[in-house]
Structure 1
């Protein structure tokens, strides 16, 4: 049954009272006067706005100033995803950025903005909702939270070239020498990862719908032996195949700018095999014998798993990347999502030394048949065959 407001009920009661009075009154002139008075009363009531007293939502800095400040490093890291020492390092890196010097609108302290951003990066689900974060940090929920996050992202992106950079020719030579007895001339490991979105984008949602039935954005990354990210390419919607993402990235278009003669990177079989990208053998390959191919693929995977581990640790550290709560209504929303992902990759490299080292297990691998249907063509490649013979000779396969 519909709920009747107090104002409507009052008007109804006055109308009933006026009708009853008219019945009991014999003088028609008096009746007209009473009805006129009742209409005036109703008009006054209708013109009044029934407002509820505004209640200020209490804001408290208690958790941020007292509770968080009293936590040991383990608890501090649980909430902000970085150690107290790393928090100080990051703060010093971004403190002088112009985004925090704007005087058009008063800002909360920079360290508090950083704490809010780190908390948002590190949480997903309802815990990362703007209202919850605002209550936790004692700030308004009318825009303070997301403005803080945007400022921190902008400042972090300014650090990208310092923290996500391809090794120089000299550094690649050092890597090459260190890999001589393992995977000769291998410089790094490449793969793609889907960053799931919490909700369907309003703009072209079909293009974001990936093979795992999620809406997502593609992150392509290359890491080195220490699992440091040395290259990222973010932005293609989730339905795009890894091979197409790669072919449109700078490293895919111009590998000669990244790799010297004979150098290569390792990828899974979603990528086309070339002299610059070596992949494992597919199940329909007839090169060598089955035992040799399996031996090669297993050995190859023990190194390629480093990029899978990198993605795993990245998402466990910054859990917002498991299901990103960024609404994509237009190009601006897509841009914010991509910048958010990039900022988390930059932070990952900054705090890499403080992160727990993962175990390199098979849990990180995706289903190869799902990614690479067995009807794909089989290609031969001199670089892969060179590595293949190196491996089978090393283990006497």
Structure 2
């Protein structure tokens, strides 16, 4: 997992509008305790009160998947009070998953379990970080999808499909905010991922500003160093023309002329499309990454990685897709920004001439 923290939580002070979402202090926790002491908080056990379908619609996980996740997270979830206002691990996870499902302001989920906005923010921060820490367990590069990739369009020896997607954020601050404005004109993180033929993430990088070129992200990644070292043998990743063509990363031909070149491009595009499908399934299940995240960068990064982990958990449990509760923006077509530097095309040329002719 490549996740770099740009700024500490203290930088939230630069955004007064986010103060109530991102800052936690003693006064607010004291206020929570005072408010809770004057009333008895009753929190529903949604595991019992909702049927399986309604539970998965609201929380995006099935009950068995939720239980399994909760058990793994239990050692890392803290309860800040032993009195009535302490939020149990179960309700902390439910609140966070509800936030991922709605993708809206924290106030929309604070009342969900009877807590203040500041407490809801702390819970989302802590649970997201705890889930993100499961990355190495659930997001793993493997070489077992070549046959499934081949069945898509007859493209051999495919390790993974690679691409970037933009996650909308609010401008971090006026000093460096423009670094995060992408070529579409909005602020974002440019998130790179690779996936297998089962639509599972195998690597996610969530630390680059929206203005960063896709090729820059790849060229500065551990993933590229692993490829250069031959860690994945004779397997190929398939990427669009924003990436440099390498012996291990094949891109489309810009102007195919021969029938072999056209067949190569058709097979390449159909096979590579699986990463777009993966992004779509991920964002529909967890709309928080399809809408605008109005939190500090460390929290945004944790949420991106956490929802990627959850996406893989859903795929491992063979959970069917669930519709979004909120209206999502129209999916943007990823326009290639052609990579113009000198590229190694010998492997691609050999494949075209020997396999697709």
Q: Which position in structure 1 is the counterpart of 2:312?
A: 349
Q: Which position in structure 2 is the counterpart of 1:136?
A: 112
SS at match of 2:75: coil
Whether 1:163 and 2:138 are equivalent positions in the alignment is: yes
Which of 196, 199, 216 does residue 227 from structure 1 map onto? 199
Alignment of 1:261-340 (within 5 A): 261-282=233-254, 285=255, 288-289=257-258, 291-327=259-295, 333-340=296-303
Alignment of 1:83-232 (within 5 A): 83-97=62-76, 99-100=77-78, 107-124=86-103, 128-141=104-117, 143-167=118-142, 172=143, 174-176=144-146, 182-197=154-169, 199-202=170-173, 203-232=175-204
Deviation at 1:148, TM superposition (A): 1.1
Deviation at 1:219, TM superposition (A): 1.0
CA contact (8 A) 2:160 2:236 kept: yes
Give distance in 2, aligned partners of 1:80 and 1:288. 50
CA contact (8 A) 1:308 1:365 kept: no
SS at match of 1:275: coil
CA contact (8 A) 1:60 1:138 kept: no
**1:114–1:367 Cα change, 3 Å:** closer
| CA RMSD across the alignment | 3.1
**1:226–1:84 Cα change, 3 Å:** same
Whether 1:371 and 2:337 are equivalent positions in the alignment is: yes
Give distance in 1, aligned partners of 2:40 and 2:55. 19
Give distance in 1, aligned partners of 2:300 and 2:126. 14
After TM superposition, the score normalised by the length of structure 1 is 0.70
CA contact (8 A) 1:59 1:139 kept: no
Deviation at 1:164, TM superposition (A): 0.8
Give distance in 1, aligned partners of 2:237 and 2:300. 28
CA contact (8 A) 1:265 1:278 kept: yes
Deviation at 1:386, TM superposition (A): 2.8
CA contact (8 A) 2:247 2:344 kept: no
Deviation at 1:101, TM superposition (A): 6.3
Q: Which has the higher contact order (CA 8 A, sep 6+)?
A: 2
Deviation at 1:121, TM superposition (A): 1.3
CA contact (8 A) 1:133 1:145 kept: yes
Deviation at 1:119, TM superposition (A): 0.8
Give distance in 2, aligned partners of 1:228 and 1:60. 43
Instruction: Say which one has the larger Rg.
Output: 1
Give distance in 1, aligned partners of 2:288 and 2:238. 28
Deviation at 1:380, TM superposition (A): 6.0
CA contact (8 A) 1:95 1:110 kept: yes
**1:389–1:102 Cα change, 3 Å:** farther
1:83-114 Cα distance to aligned partner (Å, 9 max, x none): 122111111111122x4267799741000000
1:131-152 Cα distance to aligned partner (Å, 9 max, x none): 22112222223x2101111221
Alignment of 1:29-44 (within 5 A): none
**Count of aligned pairs between the two proteins:** 311
Q: Which position in structure 1 is the counterpart of 2:351?
A: 387
| Uncovered stretches (5+) of structure 1, i.e. residues with no partner | 1-55, 328-332
Deviation at 1:258, TM superposition (A): 6.2
Give distance in 2, aligned partners of 1:90 and 1:239. 35
After TM superposition, the score normalised by the length of structure 2 is 0.77
SS at match of 2:356: helix
SS at match of 2:111: helix
| Uncovered stretches (5+) of structure 2, i.e. residues with no partner | 1-34, 323-329
Give distance in 2, aligned partners of 1:207 and 1:153. 25
Alignment of 1:53-68 (within 5 A): 65=44
CA contact (8 A) 2:60 2:97 kept: yes
CA contact (8 A) 1:308 1:364 kept: no
